[in-house]
């Protein structure tokens, strides 16, 4: 099947081609001095492609521009070709540390100003680091583009004068907190770093973690960091990619002004791509604070864009890519694994075919047994071979994913940036599609024989503490270590420091904010009264359909908590006509997805489809919704998966905090006080009859509303939805929430998590229900400077000033009839008490005095301009429509919000803070190691009450 994308891409091709011809004719006279045009890329007919223009500055900076005027925004990405692979032995973590350091101000940008400028401009920003690159990116209203170029250029050319020992120490602590939160305090968190030590030679740069080894971070000095920056962060090792509603000539002029004066850094050469080999199968294992044993298997393969990469991707999908795969059939469907999958992740220097399976304790939990079944599955594939359907479904999925990935400017810009950085060719969409389309059955069998069959592998076992009898095989490998490099970098030559010909201390002004176009909405009803709200979006030939049903977890009796979720899971399984595997295969052939799910107050059906496949996709929705199979074998498997998932989550500190905090706020007899996942006892007691009964209670037309975003008009799409007009049933009414529990003052509730590297703090109270223009919305404005923005009071205090946490926030959230305020953070165990005290101090001060005039101005500017980013993708548009539909809002409610933002007085907001932020009314919960944490809390004068989650 060939996807029909000509309709939308051809128009872009004609437009780009016309502009390209005109541009070539005048480029010599119009380009800024020092800027060279490298190429203009326009899509060819019948090709999916991203048009762009590529330039280079005299200092070696590559500049890529992609014009997309569909939304009034601009996305800026600066990608440096440096990741952990550029580090040396014993010097790990530098690239990731620099991701943090680059946000700490530069010579002409004050401390914390980067976040403040972008947020105040209504934008979003972040950075990321992997083995091979570091990138920094912002999405802003299009009138703010020049400011972003000023910010990015200043940290590229003028970072070091502002890099102090104090900043370095704070960010080193922040990185340690990030490691504690994401690795040390998370189940299976150390899997990858331990596995990679066995998978790669000790000298290979992928053998150490991107975040760095703690000892390496501790030995780093400020001079080391400066040298690392000087070696790798020059313009000749960077790609600047800008996309969106931009004026290309003005953008080039700004780029040349701000980046052109930065001198090139040392020469950067490509890293060697040496194929990874293993001498024998290596077994390693570790005990962890987990409930479920896990086996992780990896085979060395090739590297990114190798001629065999595409065939290996297809092989991984056939082996373990969903319900139609062999691994699913042999491990998950038969109940030996709670979940399992195969993938073929590729990096610049190396790829691996990876397989993981989480053992089901109900079947014994033996990883040796799972390893045997994995090997049997690999042998089965050799005998079975590759089918036509195998190839077709993977190719269709790849092509569909490509289309869905082009729904945002950020998605297109990141694709252009990555391809240029690693392969020197920004747009590889068409060539990637072609290389996957060319894969044959023989290619898949060839790579199987070359890289998998009878080849050594790494097998890692992770088992619960004290259960080493469950490992797959005794360890036979101990990683070696390399000598610590004497210097942090090599190849550092004489450095020329940047000098500016203009006053960089003056932040650029911005033009008037772009006019925001709220999506044009339409309302309709099916013959049975179901409300449908939609909007037309013609940027991609896709459809997003969401069906919401009032109820969800609110319909669960307390003794049957988790029933809504279990029922939704069953609707993702077999129908009366076909098995879940057959249904999954049919979806794969369409490149579509259908997902049933539930939340606290709703059940839902999410449908994503290419427009040309919508009719066939809706037929599958109809089959699943109206003819569920409710097969006993499916029920036992899904129930067991939900039970084991609960057991797994009980080892996650964040889950313990979220669930425990809800129980304290709402009480254990309230549906809002019990996790929508249920408990071990409630799920264990559920029967298939319970599911059938809930299905008839919940999945009724009277409970349903629909939202649709598509390139089809209302007149085109409504007839396609008419199949749902047969749906019957009145609305289901659910009981009011019970009375809230009372809590004594001066108590901190504590959930013990022995040995936890961090503590999770939750502070808050039941608060306002949602409303779009009343006190709830005003509370959102009030809270913004306290804890909703990165440069809010609590985050700057606990993260940037104290180094206690990776991030701290406060938030108001609300539904139809209730809401809550919460302040939260994961903090170092040794500063749990100090962190709690700082939270209390900040909340008390804010309640007493409120925000300053400066904070008020920042909040108004940020929120007023951020709307330009809110309606870009079809899914964002669908969310906007759902808000209007769910809360019966006026279609122009955002205009009223704008008026409130601009006119509400700071005094009124501060009075709201005084009313809503009384710390004496709040519940405090800490999840952490009792031995470490309890004395700290008592030292603050609090009584400590231990709590446990309900079974």
The 10s digit of each residue's pLDDT in 510-564 is: 888 877 777 889 999 999 999 999 999 888 899 999 999 999 999 999 999 999 9
The 10s digit of each residue's pLDDT in 667-705 is: 988 999 999 999 999 999 999 999 999 999 999 999 999
Cα separation, 557 vs 584, whole angstroms: 32
Cα separation, 925 vs 664, whole angstroms: 9
Phi and psi at residue 607, to the nearest 5° = -125, 125
- Average pLDDT for the chain: 92
Tokens describing residue 868: 């330009």
Q: Per-residue pLDDT averaged across 169-173, rounded?
A: 88
% of the chain beyond a pLDDT of 70? 97
In terms of Cα–Cα distance, which of 934, 909, 928, 805 is closest to 858? Answer: 909
Tokens describing residue 255: 């780029």
Query: Where do the H-state alpha helices sit in 867-945?
Result: 874-887, 893-903, 906-916, 930-939
In terms of Cα–Cα distance, which of 516, 35, 514 is closest to 248? Answer: 35
Beta-sheet strands, E only, within 646-756: 704-710, 747-752
pLDDT at 70: 85
Burial class from Cβ neighbours inside 10 Å (0-12, 13-18, 19+) for residue 633 reads: middle
- The SS3 call for residue 19 is helix
Predicted confidence band of residue 10 (pLDDT cuts 50, 70, 90): very low
Q: Count, in order, helices (H) and strands (E) of the chain.
A: 32, 24
277 and 352 Cβ atoms separated by less than 8 Å: no
pLDDT at 29: 57
pLDDT at 44: 73
Predicted confidence band of residue 131 (pLDDT cuts 50, 70, 90): very high
The 10s digit of each residue's pLDDT in 366-388 is: 999 999 999 999 999 999 999 99
Q: How many CB atoms lie within 10 A of CB 672?
A: 23
- Fill in the DSSP letter of residue 485: P
Look at residue 272 and tell me whether its pLDDT is greater than 90: no
Can you list the domains of the chain with their CATH numbers? Answer: 30-39+47-259 (3.30.830.10), 282-470 (3.30.830.10), 521-726 (3.30.830.10), 747-946 (3.30.830.10)
Cα separation, 197 vs 190, whole angstroms: 11
Q: Per-residue pLDDT averaged across 320-335, rounded?
A: 93
Sheet containing 521-525, strands listed edge to edge, beginning at the edge strand earlier in sequence = 521-525, 531-536, 704-710, 542-550, 602-610, 593-598
pLDDT at 334: 87
Range from 18-27, 231-240, 695-704 carrying the lowest mean pLDDT: 18-27
pLDDT at 584: 93
The 10s digit of each residue's pLDDT in 616-640 is: 999 999 999 999 999 999 999 999 9
Look at residue 141 and tell me whether its pLDDT is greater than 60: yes
- Dihedral sign for Cα atoms in the order 57, 63, 68, 74: negative
Residues recorded for the chain: 951
DSSP conformation letters of 371-437: HHHHHHHHHHHHHH---HHHHHHHHHHHHHHHHHTTSSHHHHHHHHHHHHHHHS-S--HHHHHHHHH
The 10s digit of each residue's pLDDT in 435-494 is: 999 999 999 999 999 999 999 999 999 999 999 999 999 999 999 989 999 888 998 887
In terms of Cα–Cα distance, which of 922, 676, 675 is closest to 822? Answer: 922
Q: Which residue has the tokens 């313009």?
A: 235
- 3-state class percentages of the chain: helix first, strand second, coil last, to nearest 5: 45, 20, 35
Cα separation, 552 vs 671, whole angstroms: 10
The 10s digit of each residue's pLDDT in 833-853 is: 999 999 999 999 999 999 999
793 and 786 Cβ atoms separated by less than 8 Å: yes
DSSP conformation letters of 322-374: STTSHHIIIIITTTSEEEEEEE--B-SS-BEEEEEEEE-GGGT--HHHHHHHH
The 10s digit of each residue's pLDDT in 494-520 is: 778 888 999 999 999 988 887 777 788
Q: What does DSSP say about strands 923-928 and 758-767: parallel, antiparallel, or unpaired?
A: antiparallel
Look at residue 20 and tell me whether its pLDDT is greater than 50: no
pLDDT at 397: 87
pLDDT at 7: 33
pLDDT at 28: 47
């Amino acid at each position: 099947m060939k996807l029909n994308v000509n309709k939308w891409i051809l128009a872009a091709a004609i437009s780009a081609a016309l502009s390209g011809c005109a541009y070539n004719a005048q480029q010599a006279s119009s380009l800024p001095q020092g800027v060279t045009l490298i190429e203009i890329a326009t899509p060819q007919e019948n090709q999916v492609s991203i048009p762009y223009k590529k330039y280079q500055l005299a200092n070696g900076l590559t500049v890529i521009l992609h014009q997309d005027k569909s939304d009034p925004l601009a996305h800026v990405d600066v990608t440096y070709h440096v990741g952990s692979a550029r580090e040396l032995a014993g010097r790990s973590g530098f690239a990731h540390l620099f991701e943090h350091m680059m946000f700490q101000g530069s010579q002409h940008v004050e401390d914390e100003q980067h976040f403040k400028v972008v947020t105040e401009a209504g934008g979003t920003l972040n950075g990321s680091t992997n083995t091979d690159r570091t990138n920094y990116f912002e999405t802003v209203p299009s009138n703010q583009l020049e400011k972003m170029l000023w910010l990015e250029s200043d940290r590229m050319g003028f970072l070091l004068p502002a890099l102090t020992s104090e900043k370095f120490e704070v960010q080193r602590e922040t990185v340690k907190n990030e490691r504690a939160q994401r690795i040390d305090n998370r189940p299976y968190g150390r899997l990858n770093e331990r596995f990679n030590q066995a998978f790669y030679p000790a000298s290979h740069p992928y053998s150490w973690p991107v975040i760095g080894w703690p000892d390496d971070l501790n030995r780093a000095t400020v001079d080391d960091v400066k040298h690392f920056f000087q070696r790798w962060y020059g313009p000749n090792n960077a790609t600047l990619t800008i996309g969106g509603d931009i004026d290309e000539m003005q953008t080039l002029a700004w780029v040349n002004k701000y980046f052109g004066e930065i001198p090139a850094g040392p020469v950067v050469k490509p890293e060697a791509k040496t194929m990874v080999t293993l001498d024998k199968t290596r077994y390693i294992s570790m005990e962890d604070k987990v409930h479920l044993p896990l086996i992780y298997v990896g085979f060395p393969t090739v590297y990114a864009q190798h001629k065999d990469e595409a065939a290996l991707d297809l092989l991984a999908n056939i082996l373990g890519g969903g319900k139609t795969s062999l691994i699913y059939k042999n491990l998950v469907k038969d109940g030996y694994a709670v979940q399992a999958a195969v993938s073929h992740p590729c990096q610049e220097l190396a790829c691996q075919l990876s397989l993981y399976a989480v053992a089901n304790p109900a079947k014994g939990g033996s990883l040796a047994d799972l390893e045997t079944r994995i090997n049997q599955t690999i042998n089965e594939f050799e005998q079975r071979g590759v089918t036509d359907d195998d190839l077709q479904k993977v190719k269709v999925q790849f092509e569909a994913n490509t289309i869905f990935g082009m729904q945002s400017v950020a998605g297109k810009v990141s694709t252009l940036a990555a391809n240029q950085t690693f392969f020197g060719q920004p747009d590889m969409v068409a060539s990637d599609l072609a290389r996957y389309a060319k894969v044959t059955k023989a290619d898949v069998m060839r790579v199987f024989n070359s890289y998998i069959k009878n080849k050594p592998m790494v097998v890692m076992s992770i088992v619960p503490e004290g259960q080493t009898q469950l490992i797959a095989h005794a360890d036979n490998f101990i990683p070696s270590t390399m000598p610590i490099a004497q210097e942090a970098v090599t190849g550092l030559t004489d450095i020329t420091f940047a000098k500016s010909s203009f006053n960089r201390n003056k932040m650029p002004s911005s033009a008037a904010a772009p006019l925001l176009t709220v999506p044009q909405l339409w309302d309709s009803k099916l013959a049975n009264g179901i409300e449908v709200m939609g909007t037309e979006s013609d940027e991609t030939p896709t459809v997003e359909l969401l069906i919401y049903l009032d109820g969800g977890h609110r319909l669960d009796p307390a003794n049957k908590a988790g029933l809504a979720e279990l029922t939704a899971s069953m609707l993702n399984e077999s129908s009366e006509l076909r098995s879940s595997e057959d249904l999954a295969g049919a979806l794969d052939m369409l490149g579509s997805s259908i997902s049933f799910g539930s939340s606290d107050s709703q059940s839902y059906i999410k449908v994503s489809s290419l427009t040309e496949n919508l009719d066939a996709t809706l037929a599958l929705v109809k089959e699943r919704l109206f003819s569920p199979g409710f097969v006993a074998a499916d029920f036992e498997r899904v129930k067991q998966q939900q039970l084991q998932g609960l057991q797994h989550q009980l080892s996650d500190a964040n889950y313990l905090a979220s669930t425990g905090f809800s129980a304290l706020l709402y009480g254990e007899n309230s549906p809002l006080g019990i996790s929508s996942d249920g408990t071990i006892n409630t799920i264990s007691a559920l029967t298939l009859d319970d599911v059938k009964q809930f299905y008839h209670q919940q999945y009724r037309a009277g409970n349903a509303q629909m939202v649709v975003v598509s390139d089809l008009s209302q007149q085109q799409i409504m007839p396609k939805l008419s199949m749902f007009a047969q749906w019957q049933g009145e609305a289901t009414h659910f009981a009011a929430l019970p009375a809230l529990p009372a809590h004594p003052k001066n108590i901190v509730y504590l959930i013990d998590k022995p040995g936890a590297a961090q503590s999770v703090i939750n502070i808050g109270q039941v608060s306002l229900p949602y409303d779009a223009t009343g006190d709830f919305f005003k509370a959102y404005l009030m809270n913004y400077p306290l804890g909703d923005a990165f440069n809010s009071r609590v985050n700057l205090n606990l993260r940037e000033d104290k180094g206690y946490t990776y991030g701290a926030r406060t938030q108001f959230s609300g539904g139809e009839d209730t809401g809550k305020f919460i302040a939260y953070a994961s903090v170092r165990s040794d500063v749990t008490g100090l962190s709690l005290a700082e939270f209390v101090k900040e909340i008390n001060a804010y309640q007493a005095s409120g925000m300053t005039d400066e904070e008020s101005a920042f909040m108004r500017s940020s929120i007023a301009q951020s709307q330009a980013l809110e309606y870009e993708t079809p899914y964002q548009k669908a969310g906007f429509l759902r808000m209007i539909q769910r809360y019966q809002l006026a279609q122009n409610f955002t205009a009223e919000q704008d008026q409130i933002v601009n006119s509400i007085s700071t005094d009124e907001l501060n009075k709201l803070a005084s009313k809503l932020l009384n710390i004496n009314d709040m519940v405090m919960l800490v999840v952490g190691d009792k031995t470490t944490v309890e004395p700290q809390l008592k030292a603050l004068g609090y009584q400590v009450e231990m709590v446990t989650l309900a079974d």
